[in-house]
Amino acid sequence: MSIKILSGTVLGLEGVLVEIEADITPTSLPAFIVVGLPDAAVQESRERIRSAIKNSGFKFPPSRIAVNLAPADIKKQGPSFDLPIALALLCAARQLEVKLPIDKTLILGELSLDGRLRPVNGVLAMVIGAQEKGMERVIVPKDNISEASVIKEMEIIGVESLAQAVEFLNGSKHIAIANNFELTPADIKYSIDFSDIKGQEGVKRALEIAAAGGHNISMSGPPGSGKTLLAKAFIGILPQMTREEILEVTKIYSVAGLLSVDQPLILHRSFRTPHHTASSVALVGGGSFIKPGEISLAHRGVLFLDEFPEFPRSVLDSLRQPLEDGIVTVSRAQGSVQFPAKFILVTAMNPCPCGFLSDPVKKCVCSPSQVINYQKKISGPLLDRIDLHTEVPRVEYEKLVSLQKSESSKSIADRVLNSRRKQWLRFRNQNIYTNSEMGLEHIRNFCHLDIDSQELMKKAVDQMNLSARSYHRILKIARTIADLSNIENIRLEHVAESLQYRSKLRQI
Ligand SMILES: Nc1ncnc2c1ncn2[C@@H]1O[C@H](COP(=O)(O)OP(=O)(O)OP(=O)(O)O)[C@@H](O)[C@H]1O
Ligand SMILES: [Mg+2]
């Protein structure tokens, strides 16, 4: 008897159901054929299944076996079909009689030759996809339980081997439903605290605004002034992720194959620091088996590009569209997929090749053309997408050796959280979380300017030659500054401070 076993695959971040059926023709010569657009890993599964069936105490039918994966127009990737194919085959060979509603059960798992199960990638995306399709139960390898059991609406059954899966399906063994994994991230201590960084109050203030509203920020200054240090401390002042954010980010890491038994969920915001030799594909995603890139791995977290001008210009320009839309579309011959990419971009650079252009003490030894060539490596449109431009001056000796402690990350984080709460309330039911994500309509509704502020803005737009994008970004920053000060309406001082971060933008 042939029955349909349901399994899944991922398209981008979406879980898609795949129906698996097996047919055995006893009179033909032995063969094992898999059809339905399987990739090399699925083709190889035949060898694993053959050995796993034999080594689990079952009989591999010495006949012609055809396995069909439907729908036929979606490419089936990876080894997660091993277990469902083996089970479909055992049903067709009458060695397994399923006693539960199989049309409501999703089955995933890679087999090893001895019949034990290995964890697979993309489980969370597939479980969410299956739940949306009305499925009730999912059978996964034991090591994937934590990841799958975040979805409370599904019964999660963790199995260790093919034999155990068969015993569960034919009703001879009871396996308890895995407990739901509670998403309550514990506080973690980051290695660098703001209180360890001396001076730099201006930059710290800008970083606080960036964290509060989710704005992009650039830091420019001489070598050794603390840019990298400040960026590393920045992650520690961001608020904890919400349940929805944890699910979004874990889904991305799951599809990228970056989850492990030790880290089955991503509970804390990511801090991604790709090296400047990274390729466009590594940064925005792609590859023959399309995977999310660094910008998606930094989703809801921080993408830190240190030594910003050292990145090839083509690589940097690939960031322009995702920075605007918060989503990246990767197109390949086999189709196009979208990955979310809402991150805070933090960049650090020296103002010139020797690094001392803006330094009041040490003389810059670069020629004007060297400086221009260095700065031209970053395109104007990309700089325009960065909201806060700051200078990180050298720290004076007195400040460096002073015993006075600066404000701690914890107390800055409290203010950031407070202003984020205001934003969550403001944007509830609007599908956005922070001021930086505001569209034109939100800006119209939430960024009213009084007469004085309008006057100041008018002068600034004329004198600083601001683009329409800059204008809107200044308004968003002013909104965040007002939120940080616990003030309902944007005032003149908020706009003035906001403009100050724009004025440091070098004009190209
Ligand atoms: N404000 C500061 N307070 C305390 N220590 C500092 C400060 N700034 C720099 N340092 C010290 O200098 C070291 C180098 O700082 P960091 O790597 O952040 O400099 P940078 O600005 O990134 O330099 P570069 O432009 O060369 O990358 C730090 O590890 C720290 O020991
Ligand atoms: Mg550095």
Q: Quick check: 8 pLDDT over 80?
A: yes
Residue 507 scores a pLDDT above 60: no
Classify the C-alpha dihedral 469-470-472-477 as positive or negative: positive
Q: Could you tell me which residues come within 8 angstroms of residue 138 by beta carbon, excluding any fewer than 6 positions away?
A: 105, 106, 107, 108, 127, 130, 148, 154, 155, 156, 157
Q: What is the pLDDT of residue 213?
A: 94
Percent residues over pLDDT 70 in the chain: 98
The three-state (H, E, C) secondary structure of 368-380, written as one string: HHHHHHHHCCCCH
Q: To 10 degrees, the CA torsion angle through 190, 195, 199, 204?
A: 60
Say which residues have a Cβ less than 8 Å from residue 415's Cβ, sequence separation at least 6: 208, 212, 484
pLDDT of residue 27: 79
**For ligand 2, a single-atom ion, which residues have Cβ within 5 Å?**
228
**449: pLDDT strictly greater than 50:** yes
Nearest CA to ligand 1 atom 18: 226
Q: How confident is the model at residue 508 (pLDDT cuts 50, 70, 90)?
A: very low
In angstroms, the CA 148 to CA 127 distance is: 7
Which residue's alpha carbon is nearest to atom 10 within ligand 1? 226
Q: What is the pLDDT of residue 506?
A: 54
Q: Comparing 105-119, 185-199, 348-362, 364-378, which segment has the lowest mean pLDDT?
A: 185-199
Is 395 a pocket residue for ligand 1 (Cβ < 6 Å)? yes
The mean pLDDT of 269-298, rounded to a whole number, is 91
User: Is-contact 387 217, C-beta < 8 A?
Assistant: yes
| Side chain identity at residue 198, one-letter code | K
Say yes or no: CB of residue 231 within 6 Å of ligand 1. Answer: no
Q: How confident is the model over 309-322, as pLDDT tens digits?
A: 999 988 998 999 99
Average pLDDT for 330-358: 88
Q: What domains does the chain contain, in order, with CATH numbers?
A: 5-169 (3.30.230.10), 194-429 (3.40.50.300)
For residue range 43-55, list pLDDT tens digits in order: 889 999 999 999 9
- SS3 readout for 308-337: HHHCCHHHHHCCHHHHHHCEEEEEECCEEE
Residue with CA at minimum distance from ligand 1 atom 25: 223
How far apart, in whole angstroms, are the C-alpha atoms of residue 441 and residue 116?
Answer: 55
Which residue from 468, 473, 437, 477 is spatially nearest to 327, judged by alpha carbons? Answer: 437
Most confident of 25-39, 175-189, 267-281, 374-388: 267-281
Task: Look at 257-266, 308-317, 474-483 and tell me which has the smallest mean pLDDT.
Answer: 257-266
Nearest CA-CA partner of 233 in 213, 210, 252, 249: 210
Q: How far is CA 427 from CA 435, 438, 463, in A?
A: 9, 9, 33
pLDDT at 440 over 70: yes
Instruction: Extract the tokens encoding 101.
Output: 């509603």
Please name the residue whose Cα sits nearest to atom 6 of ligand 1.
Answer: 226
Is the minimum distance from the CB of 9 to ligand 1 under 6 angstroms?
Answer: no
Q: What is the tens place of the pLDDT at every residue in 204-228?
A: 999 999 999 999 999 999 998 889 9
Q: Quick one: pLDDT band at residue 493, thresholds 50, 70, 90?
A: very high
Cα separation, 286 vs 7, in Å, equals: 24
Q: Does any ligand 1 atom lie closer than 6 A to the CB of residue 472?
A: no
CA pair distance 295, 279, nearest whole angstrom: 12
Q: Model confidence at 2, in pLDDT bands (50, 70, 90)? A: low
Residue 403, pLDDT > 80, answer: no
Please check the confidence at residue 299 and state whether its pLDDT lies above 70: yes
Res 73 pLDDT > 50 = yes
Summarize the confidence of residues 162-168 as an average pLDDT: 96
Q: What are the backbone angles phi and psi of residue 313, rounded to the nearest 5°?
A: -60, -35
Q: Give me the amino acid identity at 318.
A: S
Reported as a pLDDT band with limits 50, 70 and 90, residue 72 is: confident
Ligand nearest to the CA of 195: 1
In angstroms, the CA 193 to CA 406 distance is 10
Cα separation, 372 vs 364, in Å, equals 14
Question: Is residue 3 predicted with pLDDT exceeding 70?
Answer: yes
Report the pLDDT averaged over residues 29-39: 88
Residue whose entry in the numeric block shows the structure tokens 């034991």: 142
Instruction: Quote the tokens at residue 163.
Output: 């034999």
| Cα 230 to ligand 2 centre (Å) | 9
pLDDT of residue 431: 85
